[in-house]
Amino acid sequence: MRSGCKKCLGLVLLGGLLLAALFHGWSSSSSSEVDIRQRPESQIKKLLQAKIQEITREHRDIAYHIKEDVAGRLAQNTCVCLADKETFHLPYSELLFPRVRAHNVDLAFLESRPDPEGVRQHRAQEYSSFQMRSQSPADLLVISEANSPLQYPTQGVEVRPLQKIIIPGLGLKDEARSNHTVYLKATLGTFDVAATVDVVSVTGVGGNHMTLSSPRLSALNRQLQFVTYTNTVFHPRTADTVQFATEGHRAFFTIKIGHRIVPRLYYTGPQTEHNISALVTIATKTFLRYDKLRDLIASVRQYYPSVTIVIADDNEHPQKVAGPHVEQYIMPFGKGWFAGRNLALSQVTTKYVLWADDDFIFTANTKLEKMVDILEKTTLDLVGGAVREVTGYTATYLHTISVEGGGEEGDCLHIRNGFHHAIEGFPNCVVADAVINFFMGRTDKLQQVGFNPRLARKAHLEFFIDALGSLHVGSCSDVIVNHASKIILPWTKTESQKAYEKMRYSSTSSDADLYNEVFYFRNRFKCMTSQ
């Protein structure tokens, strides 16, 4: 008997040690903190800009002659809105002789504002934040100095569709010889020069293959500083691969062709510290749970009296949900979960949207200000919170998602419990790929991803799989919403509760086939693994 107890005790101790080791390993691998706060220009960017300025200052002593017809069409970043003058006015003249009109948006908007300078600063701050979120280090202009001996930009050269630019950084660092020659070749555009330099021969002007040569290397390099590229094949987002060559050497670089992303900034009125009503809309979807929905609204109003609540409702017999700052949108009966999310999201006009299920309850711990704060100060697009059950258990539902290439048969989807790293400066916050069904996100980014409306009953991770590579996702466990009790004795269930459970939890072979289709065909997966 005593021997058996000793064995049991030994097994318990061994199990405890193994659990401690696993916990330590998990904690140590997950405890690293990464700073993802939005920052001004990096030191690397400043160094690159200084280097480019140094390169462009070379050969400044060599004279050149401006080609007005070319230089005048270069992008100057000094746009103006000019209207055509009305020369005469006759009935229907606008139909016969349409003219360009101009509207000064800045004057029209600012003149009606009590603090126009504050509005300008607010817009500038929003635009700066937008640029930091939308730009990548891969967009920086980098020039490869002449080790080959060709010098050319390796990245960061962009042109608007059908527009003209000067190609920065072209150069040749050649050995002494009687003549120096370089070639340029493109497929989606043509070359020209914005100015000419004496003793430099330029052939192929206006074509996609141009040759420049000179007995003087310094003169050739000066001429290369004026080489222009004009896009001739319209495409809203593509790139041209330019070949740059000299005798015995050849290099390639890309010129990105595309429209600039038009900013989507949100004007929130006079600036106050996190004006939640102006920044956030709460969106929810309801079906056969009007009692729960009204409890949610009442709890929201206790802490956020004027925040707009958008409701997508696909009940067969809708009930009017009235109240200040409440918008109810009726859908076809049983249209479904993700279709409701899309509808609710489409009606949001604020910078951020908070998704909450209709059976959630706001408490003093449901601090939306914390979510707004991390979204304002980091590069995150979406941040989840935590949901507390009636049992006291609090869940954050964190997952990492990765896609492994699998060849012609499709890729492999891997879903794991956990997160990538903690966020420096924000205790209790981490970066993951999927979070719980209580989250706040940038409205425009969520609208870009959208929700697959074919997923009507059971869906959650599917949204985050679609968002992989598009959304930067985080979670903060100290923003907590309560979950209404789901414990209902069978003999106390109402007809609505029974109908809800039948619709919500029923599963058919066609449902399973739909999910297989979504993963196999829509997402091109051949298999998936998950914890």
Task: Judge: domain 137-258, CATH 3.10.20.
Answer: no
How high is the pLDDT of residue 403?
87
* Domain chopping of the chain, boundaries: 103-134, 137-258, 276-530
pLDDT at 14 exceeding the cut of 60: no
- Averaged over 187-195, what is the pLDDT? 94
- Averaged over 259-274, what is the pLDDT? 80
pLDDT at 298 exceeding the cut of 70: yes
How high is the pLDDT of residue 19?
44
pLDDT at 166 exceeding the cut of 90: yes
How high is the pLDDT of residue 12?
46
* pLDDT tens, residue by residue, 69-83: 888 777 766 666 567
- Averaged over 278-304, what is the pLDDT? 94
The pair phi, psi for residue 429, each rounded to 5°, is: -120, 140
How high is the pLDDT of residue 29?
41
* pLDDT tens, residue by residue, 428-478: 999 999 999 999 999 999 999 999 998 887 789 999 999 998 999 999 999
Confidence band of 21 (pLDDT split at 50, 70, 90): very low
How high is the pLDDT of residue 9?
47
Range name among 327-336, 396-405, 512-521 with the lowest pLDDT average: 512-521
How high is the pLDDT of residue 525?
84
Q: Which residue has the higher pLDDT, 431 or 391?
A: 431
pLDDT at 268 exceeding the cut of 60: yes
Inter-residue contact 415 to 367 (CB < 8 Å): no
How high is the pLDDT of residue 493?
66
pLDDT at 60 exceeding the cut of 70: yes
Q: How many residues does the chain have?
A: 531
How high is the pLDDT of residue 462?
93
> In which residue are the tokens 């640029």 written?
131
Q: What is the pTM of this model?
A: 0.75
Q: Quick one: three-class SS letters along 422-452? A: EECCCCCEEEECECCCCEEEEHHHHHHHCCC
Q: Alpha helices of 86-233 — where are they, by DSSP H?
A: 93-96, 105-110, 116-134, 217-224
* pLDDT tens, residue by residue, 205-260: 999 999 999 999 999 999 999 999 999 999 888 889 899 999 989 888 999 999 98
* pLDDT tens, residue by residue, 332-350: 998 988 999 999 999 999 9
What number does CATH give the domain 276-530? 3.90.550.10
CA distances from 197 to 152, 190, 194 (A): 20, 20, 10
How high is the pLDDT of residue 128?
80
* pLDDT tens, residue by residue, 94-123: 666 676 666 666 776 777 778 888 887 887
Confidence band of 45 (pLDDT split at 50, 70, 90): low
How high is the pLDDT of residue 498?
63
Helix (H) or strand (E) holding 473, with range, is strand 473-483
Mean pLDDT over all residues of the chain? 83
CA distances from 215 to 64, 72, 218, 348, 518 (A): 16, 29, 9, 65, 64
pLDDT at 162 exceeding the cut of 60: yes
> In which residue are the tokens 């987002």 written?
237
Q: CA end-to-end span of the chain, whole Å?
A: 40
What percentage of the chain exceeds 70 in pLDDT? 77
Q: Are strands 439-442 and 352-355 parallel, antiparallel or unpaired?
A: antiparallel
